Structure 1
């Protein structure tokens, strides 16, 4: 009798376990379905809200051009400024190079170099591959929006993007004869990832954040936008860089340009820096470049 009771109890426990497992699986299924629906609803709601805000901006006579809603990802990155350039410049050839107090190389070529007149960056891109031209040339890429007819800017590459800082930049100088006369260079080293990849806000969302934070006045143009790594803070002897949307704006009544920096991580969209750029060849060329693309 006792054996029969124990058998019934064991069977009952097994049945309980089966039902419990089934209920757990059903709960997981329902949670996943709800989550997927919420994501779809959130995405749909976000798209609707973005569309409404863009229309508001147009009513305020703010020109934004075509904005991408594509989302990317990025890292927290640590880097240090290279302060050991004195030894490294010995590898440079056919130029006079010196180091100033800000760890910047200032160099003049012995003979100005001929470059492609329409696209001088094409010539420079090839020269960067040659040893002795600049330090770590292949680690830099052309920055069109900050370049002008007389200065060509190259930014240092990050893990999966570019650094947007003077501490990782080469600025090449073109003389009156459109020849490469020299350059200044700063370099970052010991570049490493501090945190796993995190989702970033889209270009569209960054511009909308800036508008919502009253960073774009009425009757303005969004001149250009660029995604790069900018310095957030200095800690333990290293600089910490984060993905940042850099957005240039100007009022239609002025040629002065404002540069805004928007934290690109999805959990915050706060603007943490705005700087003024006065009437420059750069701002005018950038505006003309954007307008030509929109056409």
Structure 2
């Protein structure tokens, strides 16, 4: 009987604690109307400074932390007719085609494009836009989101004639979800965060934002990834990738 009473008491205490935490959380929330008004004012201020913004979204997405390991190049899916020059890099494939490939990526499907898609890679407009040459970047996708870290991308190289000559490939394996998905900030919130962190200023231009996964740390041989909002920014003749933590709104730009 004594044990049963203690059990009931503990349940009551937990229930009361949940009510307290819920009320405490609600008391700290800013009404959505105030958030919307503040965002509208800041966006208007940015436009007055001639900052070119994309057609951004205001929808809330859900995502969570994931862990993954670097795949061995000997286990990767690769097209035929290539020379591998990776050397001692066990997680990286550096390949050149034995003969010129006449088809460009993005036109008719080639064996290389099919190889990228079969392994879960998709074209990444932000990372490709950040290139200073004609390389095109494909990202592996985790839980539907593109990877920004080098460990999960495939980069295709072209010659001056626009012909595909080779590629570099890395792949993530043993992917595990670390916790349930939770709400992220919106694309609009991420843009406002960039402005508040002075990452964009008068006359700058910002690309569309892409909710992505980026590496945050490494633990016991696993890379830990968190969701981020990624943008390509243009300031004068310079361009660079900007990143905002999609959970906290912190600035992760390098």
TM range (shorter): 0.7 to 0.9
Partner of 1:24: none
1:184 aligns to what SS in structure 2?
strand
Compute the displacement of 1:218 (Å). 2.4
Compute the displacement of 1:164 (Å). 0.9
Partner of 2:100: 112
Find 1:76's aligned residue among 65, 69, 77.
Answer: 65
* Unmatched tracts of structure 2, length 5 or more: 1-18
Q: How far apart, in 1, do the equivalents of 2:233 and 2:79 lie? A: 39
Q: How many residues align?
A: 227
Q: How does 1:1-295 map to 2 (within 5 A)?
A: 42-82=31-71, 84-85=72-73, 87-88=74-75, 92-102=79-89, 103-116=91-104, 120-124=105-109, 127-129=112-114, 133=115, 137-147=118-128, 150-251=134-235, 254-265=236-247, 268-274=248-254
Equivalent pair of 2:126/2:241 in contact (CA under 8 Å): no
Equivalent pair of 2:79/2:112 in contact (CA under 8 Å): no
2:142 aligns to what SS in structure 1?
coil
Equivalent pair of 1:121/1:142 in contact (CA under 8 Å): no
* Unmatched tracts of structure 1, length 5 or more: 1-27, 275-295
Compute the displacement of 1:111 (Å). 1.6
2:44 aligns to what SS in structure 1?
helix
Residue deviations 1:128-171, cap 9 Å, x none?
43xxx56x843101113333673221101112211111111111
Residue deviations 1:204-253, cap 9 Å, x none?
100001111222222322134222100111112211000001122233xx
Compute the displacement of 1:178 (Å). 2.8
- The 1:221/1:97 distance shift into structure 2, 3 A limit, reads same
Equivalent pair of 2:211/2:230 in contact (CA under 8 Å): yes
Compute the displacement of 1:68 (Å). 1.0
Equivalent pair of 1:231/1:242 in contact (CA under 8 Å): yes
Larger deviation: 155-164 or 98-107? 98-107
1:47 aligns to what SS in structure 2?
helix
Q: How far apart, in 2, do the equivalents of 1:125 and 1:200 lie? A: 37
2:59 aligns to what SS in structure 1?
coil
Residue deviations 1:22-54, cap 9 Å, x none?
xxxxxx9xx99xx7xx98x82222111110110
Q: How far apart, in 2, do the equivalents of 1:178 and 1:59 lie? A: 40
Structure 1 or 2, whichever has the larger Rg, is 1
- The 1:258/1:178 distance shift into structure 2, 3 A limit, reads closer
Higher helix share: 1
Partner of 2:8: none
- The 1:255/1:232 distance shift into structure 2, 3 A limit, reads same
Partner of 2:5: none
Q: How far apart, in 2, do the equivalents of 1:258 and 1:92 lie? A: 32
Compute the displacement of 1:79 (Å). 0.7
Higher RCO, Cα 8 Å, sep 6+: 2
